[in-house]
Amino acid sequence: MAHPDFTPNYPLWLQVLAQVHTDDVLNYISCSQQHAANLARKKILKYIICSQQHAANLARKKILKYIICSQQHAANLARKKILKYIICSQQHAANLARKKILKYIICLQQHAAIPASMSPQACQAAYIVSGE
């Protein structure tokens, strides 16, 4: 199709040449528009992919943070239980020691009531031998 400003009094070869160039220019414009559209699609696609990756990374970070928090919570609970166990064990040991000391004191008090023939060393030996 000829350009609207194209006057018919030009030679035919010039008109054909102008028409060919016009088609080439239109083709180039069309190609340029398609190329721009392709670039835009690629950029949008790249943005979508980046957004998805970013969302996935955030999700991974949140999950990782949750796992770390859970592990820390579990570790804290374990520490508390271990500490509680240690405290209980120490209290139990202290109670056993108190009982043994009390038993020894009772033995010594009983020895005071026993005739003088039995010495405190004999009472202590009897206490150790009895395994109490």
Please check whether residue 5 lies inside any domain of the structure.
Answer: no
Predicted pLDDT at 48? 81
Predicted pLDDT at 53? 83
| End-to-end Cα distance, the chain | 120
Mean pLDDT of the chain: 74
* pLDDT (tens digit per residue) in 52-79: 888 888 888 888 888 888 888 888 888 8
Please check whether residue 4 lies inside any domain of the structure.
Answer: no
Please check whether residue 87 lies inside any domain of the structure.
Answer: yes
Residue 111: count other Cβ atoms within 10 Å of its Cβ: 19
Please check whether residue 6 lies inside any domain of the structure.
Answer: no
Predicted pLDDT at 122? 62
Please check whether residue 95 lies inside any domain of the structure.
Answer: yes
Please check whether residue 16 lies inside any domain of the structure.
Answer: yes
Please check whether residue 1 lies inside any domain of the structure.
Answer: no
Please check whether residue 34 lies inside any domain of the structure.
Answer: yes
Number of domains in the chain: 1
* pLDDT (tens digit per residue) in 104-132: 777 777 766 655 555 666 666 655 555 55
Range(s) of the domain holding residue 85: 12-129
